[in-house]
Amino acid sequence: MNKWAELFLGLILLIGAILIAWYSAAYDWILFGKSFNFLTPAWNFFKGGLFWFVVMIGLLFIMLGISDLKE
């Protein structure tokens, strides 16, 4: 695939996902009694990922510190 086509397609997908998340949160998208709010689950997923990233960095520093104590 052409590099410009890849960049353009990626940009379209990114902007599309952001717009769908924004519009689903701003307007009540309800189908068969279920709410299709994509922004809240995406935000919760990001916060969970950020939490686990910080935990893993902390564990990495602990293991590096233990490794340095051995020397």
- Structure-token pair, residue 60: 């990495």
25 burial via Cβ count (<10 Å: 0-12, 13-18, 19+)? middle
Mean pLDDT of the chain: 86
Q: How far apart are CA 49 and CA 46, in angstroms?
A: 5
Token look-up 């890849």 returns 6
Q: Is pLDDT of 58 > 90?
A: yes
pLDDT at 57: 95
Altogether, the residues listed in the chain come to a count of 71
pLDDT tens per residue, range 8-42: 898 999 899 888 888 887 777 777 777 778 888 88
Q: How far apart are CA 32 and CA 34, in angstroms?
A: 6
Question: Which of 45-49, 56-60, 66-70 comes out lowest in average pLDDT?
Answer: 66-70
